[in-house]
Amino acid sequence: MNGEDTREKPSEKLNKKPNEKFHEKTREKEKGSRIIGRILPGAVRLWLRSQVEQVEDLSVVLEGRDLDIISGYLPGVSVSAVRTIYKGIYIGELRLSAQDICINVGQVVRGKPLRLMKAFPVTGEVALTAADLNASLGSALLREGLRDFWRSLVQTPALREEIEARYGSLPLHRDVMLHNAQMYLGDQCLGLSFYPQAGGQTALHPVVLATELAVAEGNQLRLESPRWLKTLADVTDTSTGEAIVALQGFQWNLGSDTQLSRLILQPERLLCSGQIIVNP
C-alpha cells in the first residue's frame, strides 16, 4: 500500500510516558499549592475564629512543603491578632507560633471543619491592658481562677488567723465567692480587691492586697512582698500597706501544660511570654 502509515511507532510510545508522568506531577503540585494558597489558610482562620468570641486583624502564616501539608502535617504556623476575646478573657495583642501540628486535611479539602489530631505546644506572648484585665473579670474562667487562688492562699494556717483577725471569718468560708472583684496593675505589682460573699452574706468591707509576682520553675507564680492595703489606689505606693508575712514566697501552680518564661507588670499593662499545650 502507498498510503501513509499512521500507526504510532514504538519510539513515540516510549517518549509519551515521561511526558504523561510530568503532567501528572505538575497537576499534583498545582493541587498541593492550591491547598496551601486557598483552602488550608481559610480553614485555619475559620477554626481560629471558632475558638474565640472576637478577634481583629487576624494574620495566619503557614509553613511547610506541599507534600507535608497534603499528608496532614503542618511544620509551622504563626498567628498574630489584636483585641481578641477567648472564653471571656480580653487580650489586647497576641503573637503565637506552633510546630508539628497534625490535622484532618483530607476532610478539610472536602469542605469539612478542621480538627486537631494530637496535642502540640504553642509559644508566644500576649499583652493585656488594665482595662482588658478588669473586663476579663466577668469571665467564668478568670473568676474561677481567682477563687482557686484565694482558696489556695487560705490553706496556710498562719494566714487564716491573720485574715480572721482582720476581716472576720467570712473570707474563710469554703464556698466563698469573690464578689465585685477588681484588679489593679502597678509597677511590677498586681493588686486585688473583692468583697467576700458566702451563705447569703456579703462583707461590708473589701479584702484588698497587692503583691509582686515572679515566675518560678516555669509553671509556678511566686508571691513576693505581699501586703494588705486599704484601697486599690494604694498599689501605686505599697509601702503604705502592712506586710503579709505568712504569704511571702507562696507559690501557685499553674498546671503542667503551662510554662512561663517572662511576666512583666507595668502600670496599665501586663506582658506575658511562655508556652502552653493545646489539646484536641
Give the end-to-end CA distance of the chain in Å, rounded to a whole number.
73
Q: Which three cell numbers stand for residue 186?
A: 502597678
Alpha-carbon distance of 20 to 272, in angstroms, equals 55
On whether residue 58 sits in a domain, the answer given is yes
On whether residue 128 sits in a domain, the answer given is no
At 35, the pLDDT band (50, 70, 90 cuts) reads low
How many Cβ atoms sit within 10 Å of the Cβ of residue 140?
A: 9
Determine the residue type at 76: G
On whether residue 4 sits in a domain, the answer given is no
Determine the residue type at 10: P
Residues 158 and 255 in one domain: yes
Identify the pLDDT of residue 29.
43
Return the closest-CA partner of residue 195 out of 145, 150, 165, 245. Answer: 150
Residues 82 and 181 in one domain: no
On whether residue 1 sits in a domain, the answer given is no
On whether residue 3 sits in a domain, the answer given is no
On whether residue 271 sits in a domain, the answer given is yes
DSSP-derived secondary structure for the chain: --S---SPPHHHHHHHHHHHHHHHHHHHHHHHHHIIIIIHHHHHHHHHHHT-SEEEEEEEEEES-HHHHHTTEEEEEEEEEEEEEETTEEEEEEEEEEEEEEB-HHHHTTTPPP-B-S-EEEEEEEEEEHHHHHHHTTSHHHHHHHHHHHHHHTTSHHHHHHHHHHH-SGGG-TT-EEEEEEEEEETTEEEEEEEEEETTEE-SS-EEEEEEEEEETTTEEEEEEEEE-SSGGGGGGGGGSEE-GGGTT-EEE--TTEEEEEEEEETTEEEEEEEEEEP-
**What phi and psi, each to the nearest 5 degrees, are found at residue 130?**
-60, -35
84 is in which domain, residue-wise?
11-118
Q: What is the mean pLDDT of residues 85-98?
A: 96
Identify the pLDDT of residue 34.
54
Q: What is the mean pLDDT of the chain?
A: 86
Alpha-carbon distance of 60 to 36, in angstroms, equals 12
Q: What is the pLDDT of residues 133-183, one digit of tens each?
A: 999 999 999 999 999 999 988 888 889 999 999 999 999 998 899 999 999
Q: What is the pLDDT of residues 198-233, one digit of tens each?
A: 989 999 999 999 999 999 988 999 999 999 999 999
Residues 85 and 153 in one domain: no
Identify the pLDDT of residue 42.
84
Whole-model pTM: value is 0.80
* Number of folded domains that form the chain: 2
On whether residue 175 sits in a domain, the answer given is yes
For 6-15, 55-64, 254-263, which range has the lowest pLDDT when averaged over its residues?
Answer: 6-15
Residues 138 and 274 in one domain: yes
Residues 113 and 137 in one domain: no
Alpha-carbon distance of 83 to 47, in angstroms, equals 17
Q: Which three cell numbers stand for residue 119?
A: 496535642
